[in-house]
Chains A and B, each alone.
Chain A
Amino acid sequence: MSAETTARLTQGNPLLRRLLALGFGLFFLVLLIWTFPLISDIVTLIVISVVISYALRPVVNFLEMHGINRIVSILVIFVVFSGLIGLAAAFIVPSLIQQLSDFGRTLNQLDFAKIQSNVVNWVSQYIPQARDMMSTEGGGQDMIFNRLRDLFASGLEKSANVLAGVLNAFTLLSMLPILVFFMLKDGRAFAHGFISRMPNRFFEMTLSLVYKINRAIGDYIVSVIISSLFIGILTWVGLLFIGTKYALALGVISALFNVIPFFGPLLTMLVVFAVVLLTESALFWPLIWTTALMFTLQQVESFVVKPMLLSHSLSIHPAAVILVVLIGGRFAGAIGMFIAIPVYSIIHMFIVDLYGHLKNYRII
């Protein structure tokens, strides 16, 4: 090997290159933070489109593998999913809205004194002194129930705001099918074009990184969607079987909250217990059955469903979960809160893999 070749292999000033790369990175980060409030809707729309396209991609690939043209495959899936959404709109959504509005009405007309007496009666069956204690501290007890009522009232108000936000986002969401179509149709070509434009030194690293992350993101999104659907459907069926009111609404809430690790299942449990407390007159068995159901579902999801779908789950510290969800909410409202954890996971995977690749390819 000639000296000229060696000189070419080691050409350039590494420190200057790193400083330049760092400078560009910081510049784009500042630019992103500065412009984010202006384009947060569009970013959210793109993120949702990416999530949907990743979720549908295995189905498109499957159809294409069986000899169906990619565009035809995408259109077939669009027609099938439109049909499914139409069916859901016809059969499930009215019932869901009915359940939610009934629940809201129940909360408004709620006889907190009755719940209070239910709880006091139930507790005093096991602790006879409790009745005296609770009656002597009536002020505190009232305060607790008043606070509970305020909490639910504010929760409902926030839900209304969330609904308003979703409706506002509806205009932007009408662009969703178009974006998803092009992401499914040209996703590979985009990736291929992006990789091809990389300088030779970064080419193999970028190619490896893009494919690895692409696969990890795809697996992660599909696993989250499937496990959420699993939890949602089983919660609905289980609660229906137990005889809890608003089972469908609770199933939907459970599926949505399941996206948030640690706190999602806890939040679901809180909502389900609140519904049981507010709607059932005899509390003991409904509470026992509900607890058993929720606990079993979470165990099955954690130890059976997720390991089957994902070879390794991403571990996020509970404190990080809270922080990430709050940041997601600040940037993109209710939708931001739900997509915050998947987006964080994707960024986390990207950074970890990028660092590993930069080391392996001797770039840093």
Chain B
Amino acid sequence: MATEQQIMDSKQVQAKPRIRSFEWLPFRKRRSTREQRIHSVLSETPLFQSIGRRDWTLLSNLFHDRKYEHGEAIFEKGMPGLGMYVILDGEVDIIGNDDDDSPTLAHLLPGDFFGEMAVIQEGVRNATAVAATDCELIGIFRPQLRELLHDRPRLGTLLYERLARVLADRLRRADEMLLELTHQLDGGDDA
């Protein structure tokens, strides 16, 4: 049931694709290699699906390219959060704390994104992100998204709406897990 709802939600979020009938023209500005690479990875993520070419160029100018070595901290728990990262290449571990015993909460692969709560809310990071291999990331940050919301309200609202849906989806899943755990605990008590 939840899966069908998610599919319907993602359909609603998708923007109408732009007409690209002039892309074959020789004088039309072509995408740079960087832009093409970012596009190939990010257009597969729920946040950036079906975004028009002009908007895409604008967005890719807002992104920050970052490279991290294996074992390097991307951000640490307790530090002020400023934005989210999308993995272009490599793998990232999300861990609860900086110490050795801390469990890995998530192991992320190319196309995955993390730290998105910081885009919505100003606050501290609630986990540490560490490069599990040498990796290339794209950083998208709150101040720039706010500027985008002001300068290009349509595109800015679309991104914030998608982000809100991603977070709502995660919250729904967390609620389901919590319910399941509560049932398990109740079952254990009854037994």
Nearest residue (CB) in B for A362 is B79
Partner of A208, one of B80, B100, B102, B130: B80
Decide yes or no whether B112 CB sits under 8 A from chain A. no
Q: Chain A interface secondary structure, helix, strand, loop or mixed? A: helix
Min CB gap B134→A, angstroms: 12
Known: A2-B71, A4-B71, A204-B75. A360 touches B102 (CB 8 A): no
Count of residues in B whose CB is under 8 Å from the partner chain: 35
Residues of A within 8 A of B18 (CB): none
Residues of A within 8 A of B71 (CB): 2, 4-5, 7-9
Alpha-carbon distance between A190 and B76 when the two chains are bound, in angstroms: 28
Q: Chain B interface secondary structure, helix, strand, loop or mixed? A: mixed
A192 touches B64 (CB 8 A): yes
Alpha-carbon distance between A198 and B23 when the two chains are bound, in angstroms: 36
Decide yes or no whether B113 CB sits under 8 A from chain A. no
B98 touches A6 (CB 8 A): yes
A-B contact count (CB 8 A): 73
Nearest residue (CB) in A for B118 is A204
Partner of A200, one of B72, B80, B101, B144: B72
Residues of A within 8 A of B151 (CB): 61, 64-65
A1 touches B130 (CB 8 A): yes
Alpha-carbon distance between A5 and B65 when the two chains are bound, in angstroms: 22
Residues of B within 8 A of A203 (CB): 64, 66, 139
Known: A65-B152, A207-B143. A5 touches B130 (CB 8 A): yes
B61 touches A192 (CB 8 A): yes
B73 touches A2 (CB 8 A): no
Residues of A within 8 A of B68 (CB): 200
Partner of B100, one of A3, A64, A192: A3
| 21 pairs, A vs B, C-beta closer than 8 Å | A1-B98, A1-B104, A2-B71, A2-B100, A5-B73, A6-B99, A6-B100, A7-B71, A8-B69, A8-B72, A9-B71, A9-B73, A9-B98, A61-B151, A65-B153, A200-B68, A203-B66, A207-B64, A360-B79, A360-B80, A361-B80
Binding site for B on A (CB under 8 A): 1-9, 61, 64-65, 189, 192, 195-196, 200, 203-204, 207-208, 211-212, 360-362
Known: A203-B66, A204-B75, A204-B83. 5 other contacts (CB 8 A): A200-B68, A204-B80, A208-B80, A208-B143, A362-B76
Binding site for A on B (CB under 8 A): 61, 64-66, 68-69, 71-76, 79-80, 82-83, 93, 95, 97-102, 104, 128, 130, 139, 141, 143-144, 150-153
